[in-house]
Amino acid sequence: MNRQGKLAPAALMVLALAACAAGSQESAQAAQGGPVAEALLGFWHGIIAPITLIGEIIETVSPGTLPWSFHFYEARQTGVLYDVGFYVGLAAGPSILWSGASRRRVVTDS
């Protein structure tokens, strides 16, 4: 597969992940879904935090460039379980991605 063939699915995945960013009405409703939903939402927002940070910087520098607004953290109607999930996701996100990339590299090198 050529470089463009790999780039298009990756760009679509980034857009799909960014659509689940903190600050949306759906995110606020999900935070009210109970303790497990709150922790999982925090975990998810922690994993996608690097993407949302880039989106928030772009939106701050050039307002209206992106089709939706980004928020790094869901500040409304969340509790300690969201906070714990967020920080676990923030810490685990790079290691999850790194372990997947290293496994793929080992398989392709053989």
For residue 15, the tally of other CB atoms under 10 A from its CB is: 11
The predicted structure's pLDDT at residue 109 = 54
6-61 pLDDT, tens digit per residue, is: 777 776 666 666 556 676 666 666 666 788 888 888 888 888 888 888 888 888 88
The predicted structure's pLDDT at residue 74 = 78
DSSP three-state, residue 57: helix
Output the CA torsion sign for 24, 30, 35, 38.
negative
What are the tokens at 25? 């009405």
Phi, psi of 70 (to 5 degrees): -105, 145
**Per DSSP, what are the bridge partners of residue 52?**
none
d(C-alpha 19, C-alpha 24), whole Å: 9
How many domains are contained in the chain?
1
55-95 pLDDT, tens digit per residue, is: 888 888 888 887 777 777 877 767 899 889 989 999 987 77
The predicted structure's pLDDT at residue 65 = 81
Domain ranges, residue 27: 3-109
d(C-alpha 70, C-alpha 52), whole Å: 6
